[in-house]
Structure formats: structure tokens, C-alpha cells
Chain A
Amino acid sequence: MGVEGIGARVVRKEDKRFITGKGRYTDDHKVAGMMHAAFVRSPHAHAKIKGINKSAAEAMSGVEAVLDGKQLTGDAIGNIICGWMVHSKDGSPMNMGAWSALATETVRYVGDAVCIVIAETLEEAKAAAEAVEVNYDVLDAVVKATDALKDGAPQLHPEAKNNLIFDWEIGEEEATDAAFNKAAKVVELDIRNNRLVPNPMEPRAALVQYDTAEDHLTLHTTSQNPHVARLVLSAFYNVAPEHKLRVIAPDVGGGFGAKIYIYPEEIACLWAAKRLGVSAIKWTADRTEAFLTDAHGRDHVSKAKMAFDKDNKIIGFKIETVANLGAYMSLFSSATPTYLYATLLSGQYNIPTIHANVKTVYTNTVPVDAYRGAGRPEATFLVERMMTKAARELGEDPAELRRKNFIRSFPHQTPVIMNYDTGDFDASLDAAMEAADYKGFAKRRDEAESRGKKRGIGMSCYIEACGIAPSAAVGSLGAGVGLWESAEVRVNPVGTVEILTGSHSHGQGHETTFAQLVSDRFGLPGENVQIVHGDTDKVQFGMGTYGSRSGAVGMSAIVKALDKVEAKAKKIAAHLLEAAEGDIEIKDGEVLVKGTDKKLAWHEVCLGAYTGHNLPEGMEPGLKEGAFYDPANFTFPAGCYICEVEIDPDTGTTEIVQFVAADDFGQIINPMIVEGQVHGGVAQGIGQAMMENAVYDDEGQLISASYMDYQMPRAGDLPSFQVSHQTTPCTTNPLGIKGCGEAGAIGSPPAVINAITDAIGTERFVMPATPHRVWQAINGGEGHDIAGAT
């Protein structure tokens, strides 16, 4: 592998700028003549706009303009789209309501944008925004998805009767019902997956520059996928044609899904700059705005039942889920609770038949979309809570019940679309049990009991799907885009290399990991490799980074382009060295003829490609190749997490005393970076299980809209993690990579809750496991409202 090749723990190239304060995030950019934007937002969850009085605001010092939704739609700015068409089980298309970047007649959640104010300074813009008088006719609001479906509930969109967006199903209902009819035992589970706020530490921001002479816009923005942003802004929102719009995602401070989407603020700033002829406008969210407007995650309520035969083998699984999509359909909101969720309900297990029904619902809350894991955490929480509850009811050890039902033959076709190419579920379970000293738990429980503490252990054997996926397949399921990735490898005449990638790094360390592919291939030092990303003027196109796709899809595209570069370099070298092409080898920065002492330095071959003085007959000069890679299948990272907790029954305080992660990510390029992804993902999963909760009151006010009220995991809440890897390489991409970005957040919540329920001896328990709730559960308070927003 070499010191900087595949498998090496290479220290990150990008770190120097971040540790010295030289990172350049969107808000760090300033340009001459830059004006500032602030938004007038609805203070009501549901209301009609009766009138807007802008005159006081417009007269204030420094104010350039106050623009509203009627002006926006009057300029033919398109409504915000959902990029994935899902059909109800009766074949009808989803019932999508209109979403204008600035509300025109109705506001549907607290924070819904009504006006954009442009002023010379940020203070002036904010002061003017407060001076805009919006006259509202307040309507009743509904915040819980299950309430929104009830007769008489407030109606959000005329297109969606009873607030139902679609009523979708997957699997065979009749076959599943038949399985339940012959079951020896049926285990039932009511479950809620709590609503979360992604909370990347850098708030969203946009800096628009408008060149009036060229009629050209440049947008610096906090995006995980700048090319997709440009496409959507051009094709659907009409802010500018693609060749007149450059989108740059510079250093981006975390994403976790929340920065996939194209939000009203970017649209409004672009439109305003062009309409007003203003050379530059900047908007940066404050944290409360982030809570109020970033797409939230999860928010499912499910009822599930699992059928077992007399040998405790699963024979059927049935699930009904209601998913809250908030006030409008965000970009991938329809795919998250369907194709990214229900397709994973087979977990690691042989299940002959599954049926899942998913209803998606409008409510007067922030739009809900993909957040780290996106559907797979919801599926895993359901399956893995069910397996542990079943083990307890069937009198089996949770590990043994899982083992009894593991899939061991691959490829494996599940009843819910997915075809698992490879895996070794016993290996990760064994590794986790060994690392956690599972056998020694009883002794530790006794010891804790002697100190008056309740100790519990819980596991979760997750599988998820990454690297989404063959473009034709996702297209047939309703996706509006292909989900391939592109790469270009530019070898310079002096032998240094630039990789242009459509993936985008916002913490994942691409500048290091991607360079390792070049080091591995050509034996070049990482410092001779530059990764270029995040700029639509530099990289032709790309789908960006989400769904743990940069490794499995992004790096596969780089490998394909490197293959072409290597082939051409070998042809040139064979010609120069008068050898057969098949005898040429590239190693340690040299190009050799195998078995001889004939060789050229790498840069001599590169220079030869560019001088063109002595190339093979008919060969074009230069050494630059591009590739598009369209995956053949999803990839399937899997693993086992074991959590051990100790609870103080007097206070309900839970301490995680041990957390073990055993993951199979296939081939790993940089173990240091992969471990970091697991640490961060597990922390977010523990956050979901024990702390985080987006809480709306009945009027639709988000009462957890700051770090004072929404509990982010802090260092003192978490243990150090024990992480290991078991490897079965993915069979469908050239590097054998499965992906590692989301597994931690997917696998950990059920492990935590299985441990807590083990310690306190009750199953009816709703995340997050705050001390108050744990204390209530210990003291017999079982009446938690599963559908509850709190």
C-alpha cells in the first residue's frame, strides 16, 4: 500500500488551514459593495397573509429594498421542487402542495419566509425586517402526523386531502398475512422515531455576486452538492440559465443532509440581486434560524409485528408507518421514508415475506428530509428494537435469536427490493461480543447492583444501503436525477496530479483519501496531488456527497479515470522505451520495463505526453482523462454495535459505560478517517437515543430552537468508543468499498435503547432517554404517548 497508499493512516492534508484559522467558509468571504439580506419570517405555524406594509421598513436608513412573494412569483421564479416522484398504492401520484420561496398567501410553519430585506449593513437589514408589518389571519395548526390524518384536522394544502401526501406500500401483503396466520408466536412493537435537527456547526449561508455586464451570477453557498444546486436553480427556479450561474461550495462546516437541499434563502438572494442590479448580497443564518428552517430529520410513528415459527425463525414482518414531512415537500422527502427506509426492513435476517405501508403527511412544522442515515436509522431502529423485544419474549439470548435468523448466503434477495451482494454478519457480532466482554456482563450487572445501580446491555446488528445506486434503477423508482459520479484526472507536464471530483467534502477528508488513490497507483507523494471540488466552473458535473457515496461512487469514478491515465501513460512509456506495453509497470514514481533496468521517471513520461515530440502513431498529446461511474448496485455496510449502560435509579441518569462498534465497510482507504466517521455517527445516534428532540407545542411553536433547549451531545455525555473492522469487500465496485459515513448514526440508537430497556425492565419507552423519562419508566410511568411530539 505504501506509506500514503490504500489502507494507510495518512494524516489529513486539509487540516493545516483549519487548525490555523485559514479555512474559508461562505460567511468568511467578503466582496466590495456587498449588501446584506435578512428575512421576515412567519411567527405563526399556520396563517393567511392579509397584507404586508413595507413602507416603514423601506424608509429606513440603508435599506435597498423589501421584496415579497408576489413579486417573486411575478418574476416567474419557480416553486420549490421535490425531486423524487412516489406513487400511492392505488397508483395515484403523490399529492404535492405548492412551495414558493417567499410565501404568497399562506404561511405554513413558524419560520416560513415572507419577505427578503436587502440593506447596506446586516444591522440595517435586521432592523428593517422587524419593521415590516405583516397582517395575518391566524389559522389552526397541526404538528403531529397522526393528528393531521384525523377528520377535522386543519388542512395545509388543497392538493393533499386530509394532509395525506401518499399512501405507499412495498412487499406482499397477502403472503405476509398468510405467514402470520401460521405463526407460532407474534411479537408486536409500537415505536416512535424522534424528530431531530441536523445541526451542522456552520449555519447555512449564501453570498451572491451579480455581474450586470455579463448578466452572470455567482453563488457561494453551504452546499453538499453544488452542481445539483445549479441544475435545480436554473431548470426549476429560473434564477439564471446554467451557463450564467456559477455555484461554489467552499469550505463547508458539516452537512449531515441538511445542506443537500436548495432552500428559499438562496433562491431569494439570487433573484433579489438580479432584480435589483445589486453587485453582491450576503445572508448567513443565525442558530435560531437554522433550527427554524433547516430540514429536520426522522419523525416516524410505527406499528410493527413480527411472526416466528416454533423454532424462533422469522416467517413474516409487517409494518405500518406514518411519516411527518412537515409543511412542504423538501427535495428528497418522498424517498427518505420509502425507498431509503422500507427497503432495509429485512435487516440482517432471512425473512421470507415483508409488507410495509407508509403514509406521509403534511403538518405545520419545518420540512423533514434526509438527515444522516435518512430512512435507514428508522428501519434499523424498528428491526433491532423488534429483535431484542422478540428475544426477551421468546426467552432467547438476543445474540442467539439474531444468529438463528442471519443471512449467510450471498447474493441475497430480500422481499423489499434490495439484493445484498456480500456480508459476514457472524464476524461482526463475534467481534463486538468479544470486545464488549458480553460473557462477563452478568458479573458486571451484579457488581453494579451492589452499588445501587441498574446496568444493562444492548446490541444492534444493522445493515444499510449506500452508494445510491444504478441511475436506471432509481429513475424507475421515481428519482428525478441519475446518481452516478464523475471524475477527471489531470496530470500536469511536471507529473503532479489534479483530481477534479463531483463529490464534495464537508469534513470527510476527501483531499487526503482521494489523493491516496493516486499515491497507491503511481507511487507519488500525496503532496503532489491536489483535489479540486465544489465549484461548477472547475468540475464539469457531479452529484455531490450524501448517502455515504463519496467512497463507493465518487472514488470509483476516480479509479475509472486513473485506469485511462495509466493505460495512456503505459502506451507512451512503451513507445519511448521501445518495449511491449504489457511489460510496463508504474511504481514508486517510476515507469519501468519489467525484468530490465530500463526505466523513465514518471515526470518524463508526463512531459513526453505534453511535448508531443515522440508519441505513438496517431496518439493525441496530453495526459488528462475523465470518467463517469454509474454504480451497478447499492453497497451494504453492516455491523454490530453493543452498548452498556449504568443507570442511577434515584435520578434516572444514564451513563454509557461502554460502546463497541464492529463494522464491515468493505475496503478501507484511510482507517483513521473511517474511525472518525464512526465516532461522529455514533455520537449523533447516542444523541438521538438519549438527548436530542425537536419539540413543537400544540400551536406549532418550535420550543427547542436553540442550544439552550435542544440538547446536543457534549464531550461529557459520551464515552470513548471501541471501534473495529471486519472486511468483506463489496463485489460491485472496483475498490470494494461499501461506505462509512452514516453507519454510526444508523446502528447506535437501538443498541442504546436495548441497553436501557434491559436495565430498567420495560419495553414501552420513547426516545430520547432523558433522565426524567428513565426515572418515570423505572417508577411505573408507562403512559408515554407514542405519537407524541414531546
Chain B
Amino acid sequence: MSKVNITVNGKATSATVEDRLLLVDYLREGRNLTGTHVGCDTSQCGACLVMVDGKAVKACTMLAVQADGTEVQTIEGIATDGNLHPMQEAFRENHGLQCGFCTPGMIMTGIDMVNRHGTDLDEKTIREDLEGNICRCTGYHNIVKSIAAGAKAMAN
């Protein structure tokens, strides 16, 4: 067992956890932040994607103890003062989701793409950078549109 101090969505949290505890379970079970989902066991689907110190991380691939001392941002923490993040708004406006299960990971990935490539994202870049996220409902068509629109909106 180890003690961890993790800032989650701007709030300091601490707990004594099993060393084998995954970050995703710390968030879902420990902090009740159930917007981060588990869709596979092999780090393929990206439904558990969160930001750790500003970088996209699959929370099923990181131990909670590895996140000690970091700042973690989840889907629940990206809206500010009650206003949706532009990437969230873009997914709604462009019908970028159906069942919603992969959506938190997709939105976080979209934000990460902007962080890495800027706000002017072409289709090819978006499709290539979605390599780590699986959606079964949308055929990605509207996810691609959503991320392009969300990126543009983030410029403003």
C-alpha cells in the first residue's frame, strides 16, 4: 500500500492505495468520477483517456502510484464556470456521439490534438491521431467533424 497525492480536476486528493491499483480505478472507484470508462483490457480503445500534467494518458495503462504528485484532468473537469468546453460543444453540435461510451475519451483526445498540432486540424491528421480511440457507433465521420470544429472554436 502506498499513499498518493493527486490533484484531480483542480482538487487535491489523497489516499492510501494498493500498488497495483490502476489510475482509472482510482478515478472511477476512489473519486467516483465515472465519466472515464473502461472499454478494453489492452490499452486499445481509449475510453479511459485522461490528461496527466497536460498530456493524454490512457488511465488503464498507468498505476495510481505513478500519478502521485501529478495533476489529472478528466471529462468532468474540462467545463469552466458551468460553460461547456468548446470541444464538448462541438461534439454536441456535430452529432459526434451516439451511445456516449467512447465520447469522454474522444473529447479528451480532441483537446490533446489541439495541444499538439494547433487549432487548424485537417481530416487526415485527425483520422491518424484517432488511432488510439475506438468508436463502434458513429463510423468516426461526425467525430472527425466535431474535432475539426472544436479545434477551430478553441482558437477563439
Known A201-B45, A707-B42, A715-B126; judge A506-B99 contact (CB<8 A). Answer: yes
Asked if B98 and A507 make an inter-chain contact with CB atoms under 8 angstroms apart, the answer reads: yes
| A-B contacts at CB below 8 angstroms, number | 174
User: Which B residues are closer than 8 A to A by beta carbons?
Assistant: 28, 32-42, 44-45, 47, 74-76, 79, 84, 88, 91-93, 95, 97-104, 107, 123, 126-128, 130-131, 133-144
Q: Is the interface of A mostly helix, strand, loop or mixed?
A: loop
Task: Compute how far the CA of A28 lies from the CA of B131 in the bound complex, rounded to whole angstroms.
Answer: 26
Contact of B142 among A676, A682, A714, A716 (CB under 8 A): A676
Known A20-B76, A21-B104, A201-B45; judge A679-B138 contact (CB<8 A). Answer: yes
Which of B47, B88, B141, B142 neighbours the largest number of chain A CB atoms within 10 Å of its CB? B141
Task: Compute how far the CA of A506 lies from the CA of B99 in the bound complex, rounded to whole angstroms.
Answer: 5
Please give, as numbers and ranges, the residues of chain B lying within 8 Å of A12 by CB-CB distance. Answer: 92, 95
Please give, as numbers and ranges, the residues of chain A lying within 8 Å of B107 by CB-CB distance. Answer: 19
A508 at the interface (CB under 8 A from B): yes
User: Quick one: closest B residue to A22, CB to CB?
Assistant: B35
Task: Compute how far the CA of A772 lies from the CA of B4 in the bound complex, rounded to whole angstroms.
Answer: 48
Asked if B91 and A718 make an inter-chain contact with CB atoms under 8 angstroms apart, the answer reads: no
Asked if B130 and A714 make an inter-chain contact with CB atoms under 8 angstroms apart, the answer reads: yes
Asked if B127 and A716 make an inter-chain contact with CB atoms under 8 angstroms apart, the answer reads: yes
A124 at the interface (CB under 8 A from B): no
User: Quick one: closest B residue to A706, CB to CB?
Assistant: B42
Asked if B98 and A715 make an inter-chain contact with CB atoms under 8 angstroms apart, the answer reads: no
Per-residue B-contact encoding for A700-737, CB less than 8 Å = 1, 0 else: 00000011100011111010110000000000000000
Asked if A201 and B131 make an inter-chain contact with CB atoms under 8 angstroms apart, the answer reads: no
Contact of B134 among A201, A286, A672, A721 (CB under 8 A): A201
Asked if B35 and A21 make an inter-chain contact with CB atoms under 8 angstroms apart, the answer reads: yes
Task: Compute how far the CA of A200 lies from the CA of B100 in the bound complex, rounded to whole angstroms.
Answer: 11
User: Quick one: closest B residue to A670, CB to CB?
Assistant: B95
User: Quick one: closest A residue to B44, CB to CB?
Assistant: A707
CB contact list, A735-758 vs B, under 8 A: 744
Please give, as numbers and ranges, the residues of chain A lying within 8 Å of B135 by CB-CB distance. Answer: 201, 715
With both chains docked as a complex, state the minimum distance between the C-beta of B109 and any C-beta of chain A, in angstroms: 10
Please give, as numbers and ranges, the residues of chain A lying within 8 Å of B84 by CB-CB distance. Answer: 19-20
> Please, could you name 10 A-B residue pairs with CB atoms under 8 Å apart, sorted by A?
A18-B100, A23-B101, A28-B34, A200-B136, A201-B37, A681-B139, A683-B140, A715-B133, A721-B139, A744-B139
Asked if A21 and B33 make an inter-chain contact with CB atoms under 8 angstroms apart, the answer reads: yes
Asked if A203 and B39 make an inter-chain contact with CB atoms under 8 angstroms apart, the answer reads: yes
Asked if A680 and B138 make an inter-chain contact with CB atoms under 8 angstroms apart, the answer reads: yes
Please give, as numbers and ranges, the residues of chain A lying within 8 Å of B101 by CB-CB distance. Answer: 23, 25, 200-202, 253-254
Asked if A680 and B88 make an inter-chain contact with CB atoms under 8 angstroms apart, the answer reads: no
Please give, as numbers and ranges, the residues of chain A lying within 8 Å of B140 by CB-CB distance. Answer: 679, 683, 713-715, 718
Task: Compute how far the CA of A720 lies from the CA of B140 in the bound complex, rounded to whole angstroms.
Answer: 8
A599 at the interface (CB under 8 A from B): no
Asked if B92 and A720 make an inter-chain contact with CB atoms under 8 angstroms apart, the answer reads: no
Per-residue B-contact encoding for A243-260, CB less than 8 Å = 1, 0 else: 000000001111010000
Task: Compute how far the CA of A44 lies from the CA of B50 in the bound complex, rounded to whole angstroms.
Answer: 38
Please give, as numbers and ranges, the residues of chain B lying within 8 Å of A288 by CB-CB distance. Answer: 41
Asked if B141 and A19 make an inter-chain contact with CB atoms under 8 angstroms apart, the answer reads: no
With both chains docked as a complex, state the minimum distance between the C-beta of B81 and any C-beta of chain A, in angstroms: 14
